[in-house]
Amino acid sequence: MGEETLVVVVFGSLHLLGLGFGMLLLLPLLRDERVTPWAPPQEDDDGGGGGNDRILPQPPRGPSSGGLPLPDAVPARVRLRSGERLADLVPPRQRRPAHTPEPRRAPVRQRDRS
């Protein structure tokens, strides 16, 4: 068997294998399961009329302790309400004081001991 024939056989068998797995996955869709269609509930014979389509107000859910403002809330230092920049409203940080330089010593030459 030549190399070209071997390549065709290998790729053909891979395609057949993939097709078989695809059919296996589609098999549950082809099974015949009868599902009863949904039917609306039967109405009463007394003419009944309709119900109210308005939703009743629901009670609030979850804990509701305290009101606004919250007891542990701290107001912000700065409020940006009229388009100012934050850098304009916050005072600048204090810089550390500059260190005084040490006096400069004159270099001392050492004599060559030879």
Per-residue pLDDT in tens (0 to 9) along the chain, 114 residues: 789 999 999 999 999 999 999 999 998 888 777 777 887 777 666 555 666 677 778 887 776 665 666 667 777 777 777 878 888 888 888 888 888 878 888 888 887 776
Instruction: Give the contacts of 86 (CB within 8 A, at least 6 positions apart).
Output: 78, 80
User: Up-side HSE of residue 77: CA atoms within 13 Å toward CB?
Assistant: 6
State the Cα–Cα distance between residues 84 and 18, nearest whole angstrom: 66
